[in-house]
Structure 1
Amino acid sequence: MHYTLHQLEIFLKVSRLKSVTKASEELYLTQPAVSIQLKKFQDQFDIPLFEVVGRKIYITEFGEEIAIAAEKILNEITAINYRALSFKGELSGKLKIAIVSTAKYVVPYFLTGFMNKHKGVELSMDVTNKAEVVKSLEQNLVDFAMVSVIPKQLKINNIKLMENKLYLVGGKQFKPTGKNISKAIFEKLPLIYREQGSATRNQMEHFIASQKISTYKKMELKSNEALKQAVIAGLGFSIMPLIGIKNELNNGDLQIIPMKGLPLKTNWNLIWLSSKNLSSIAKHFVDHINDNKSQIMESHFDWFNKLD
């Protein structure tokens, strides 16, 4: 048999995802390239590794055993690469981060320089909702999390990165007057909320309650992207983080609607458990953030600070 590590990687990914399309996306390969290597791998065995029924892939019992073996082999190869880098005095291993969905517009800029400098560091970043982020942190599944509201139930250390500013936002269908809208007009707007537990949702509800506003209609969407597209389409209005709507503001798909009491302001924070024994990689990442956050802000978020 003459299968390659590349073929092992492809088969393992297909066995996990049960889809050539999804495997090709995660491996940054074309579907034909994945299909060709998958066939070449299968041709080296007399026993089927998988079956295609309709348009679905089912991994056989033998295929499951091969997938387990492939994972062990690939893990060993990764470990060898890490050891080689360690002997050369370079950082090597994994950096694990969980972030709330809106933070994906922020955290890559704080990671790029660090990842480019340390080629032996592998990044695992889970983009999910606040509840799952806090759960991952609490169960020590990640090194760091990025949130706009620090969880009070955990003892954590944090680095304040930048402001998180939330504005009332509408689509281009709304006719602005150039003045702050009144409570009476706000009460007539169909509002779109994030899901329960979202920090954005909590801030929006707190603002409405503090202003003693009676809302007109409530819709709920579970991601910032879905909410953004709904506002663009004219389905409603929402109080949204500025960081995620830069392009839409620039091209006119969205507009900020001025209102007294806005923007709401919190802070993006990099957090980790106070009790956690940080790895060498994690310690270097903390140093990188402390040493470079001002320069990163000036280089990438100058536009953000100019709007108030």
Structure 2
Amino acid sequence: MTQPALLNRLTFRQLQVFQTVYRQHSYSRAAAELGLTQPAVSAQIRQLEQALGQSLFKYAGKTLHVLPPADALAESIGTIFSEVASLQMALSRLTGTLRGELNIAAVSTAQYIVPHILARFRARYPEVRLRLRVVNRNEALAHLAERCDDLVIMGMAPEDSDLTFMPILHNDLLPIVWPGHPLLQAEQPGLAAFTRYQVLMREPGSGTRLALETFTRQQQLALDHTLELGTSEAIKQGVMARLGVAVLPRVAVQLELQSGLLATPKLPGFPLRHAWGVVQHRERYPTPVTEAFMQLLRELLPELEQLFSDSLAPRSDATFSCLP
């Protein structure tokens, strides 16, 4: 099929529906996300396949299989939609405003800092639509591989030459116990004494869990008594209930430490210091919105360090506001 004929038969709606089916691996889930009926999604995919002259998906029982032409189309669509988004943003700049979308994925521990960044970005660029997805480390790496977000904010930079990592804030991991815990009274408590208690941990793939496991291996200690809980909030409640001890980011427990609901013993080697950073794929062309966000981040670095290193308190000196 010649190029003009293909261009005449393709529509952006078909490509949007295809991209959603490709990502969801399901017609029904794609229909729910797009607000369409499943027959409407099937019709769009069928018309797209007719325009391309090739099949994109195949059902085997209830499982949807992605065919090689779909992989090739998905890669091209990412470039097409990125260029259209860049065009839209460039045109909005000509009018003196910045419009478009900013899609961010952040690991779950970064959810304590990202809203503060988004508030400042929103105040400066109110016409930009923001979307934040909170994921674990493994999901964040998958998002980077699939290039489905503009930026990913995570800790512990992945070892991948295709990715760039810009540190934005120290991530101090602290040992956490309940008030009155015996380790708080010990003269020189060590990591071995800490790990004799049941250690409450996040799921495999968590950056905080990876940092703790790496540190204990370096100290030639085993984590023999662990209990996996799904979220940092559940772990905090577990420590307060005396279910066990934990290692958590300082920003996740600042309020509880200040109020006396939790405590941190002085263990050698702590805090474990890592950094949150913004990760981008080198081959993903930055949009004007992405560039604006990165520029703002560079300006905010000193303010963020001060904000999260000091004791938390109500802020009455804010020089910005977010309006709908």
The answer to whether TM tops 0.5 is yes
- Give 2:117's match in structure 1, choosing from 110, 120, 144: 110
- Give 1:211's match in structure 2, choosing from 206, 219, 225: 219
Name the counterpart of 2:46. Answer: none
Asked whether the equivalents of residues 243 and 304 of structure 1 are also in contact (C-alpha less than 8 Å), the reply is: no
CA distance in 1, matches of 2:126, 2:98: 8
Matches within 5 A, 1:65-104: 88-104=95-111
> Is the aligned partner of 1:230 residue 2:238?
yes
> Is the aligned partner of 1:158 residue 2:165?
yes
CA distance in 2, matches of 1:124, 1:149: 23
Amino acid at match of 1:106: I
Gaps of 5+ in 1: 1-58, 69-78
Gaps of 5+ in 2: 1-31, 42-84, 313-324
CA distance in 2, matches of 1:135, 1:271: 12
> Is the aligned partner of 1:263 residue 2:289?
no
Amino acid at match of 2:304: I
Figure out how many residues of one structure are paired with residues of the other and give that number.
233
Name the counterpart of 1:8. Answer: none
Name the counterpart of 1:132. Answer: 139
Cα deviation code 1:73-132 (max 9, x no counterpart): xxxxxx9x9899556320001001000001011112222211111111010110011111
CA distance in 1, matches of 2:279, 2:92: 28
Asked whether the equivalents of residues 181 and 259 of structure 1 are also in contact (C-alpha less than 8 Å), the reply is: yes
Name the SS of the counterpart of 1:256 in structure 2: coil
How far residue 202 of structure 1 moved from its aligned partner, in angstroms, is 1.0
Cα deviation code 1:45-99 (max 9, x no counterpart): xxxxxxxxxxxxxx9xx9849x99xxxxxxxxxx9x9899556320001001000
Cα deviation code 1:251-301 (max 9, x no counterpart): 111100111111111111111111110001001111111122213333x22
> Is the aligned partner of 1:242 residue 2:256?
no
Amino acid at match of 2:203: E
Report the RMSD for the aligned CA atoms in angstroms: 2.8
Over 3 Å counting, the alpha-carbon distance change for 1:274 and 1:180 in structure 2 is farther
Amino acid at match of 1:91: L
Name the counterpart of 2:304. Answer: 296
Over 3 Å counting, the alpha-carbon distance change for 1:304 and 1:166 in structure 2 is farther
Over 3 Å counting, the alpha-carbon distance change for 1:232 and 1:92 in structure 2 is same
Name the SS of the counterpart of 2:273 in structure 1: strand
How far residue 212 of structure 1 moved from its aligned partner, in angstroms, is 2.2
CA distance in 2, matches of 1:214, 1:96: 39
Amino acid at match of 1:116: A
> Is the aligned partner of 1:286 residue 2:294?
yes
Cα deviation code 1:13-52 (max 9, x no counterpart): xxxxxxxxxxxxxxxxxxxxxxxxxxxxxxxxxxxxxxxx
Asked whether the equivalents of residues 98 and 127 of structure 1 are also in contact (C-alpha less than 8 Å), the reply is: yes
CA distance in 2, matches of 1:102, 1:170: 19
How far residue 245 of structure 1 moved from its aligned partner, in angstroms, is 0.4
CA distance in 2, matches of 1:210, 1:291: 36
CA distance in 2, matches of 1:159, 1:184: 34
Cα deviation code 1:215-264 (max 9, x no counterpart): 44210112211111111111100111111101110111110011111111
Amino acid at match of 2:147: N
Asked whether the equivalents of residues 180 and 257 of structure 1 are also in contact (C-alpha less than 8 Å), the reply is: no
> Is the aligned partner of 1:199 residue 2:227?
no
CA distance in 2, matches of 1:281, 1:268: 21
* Structure 1 ranges of 4+ moved more than 3 A: 62-65, 81-87
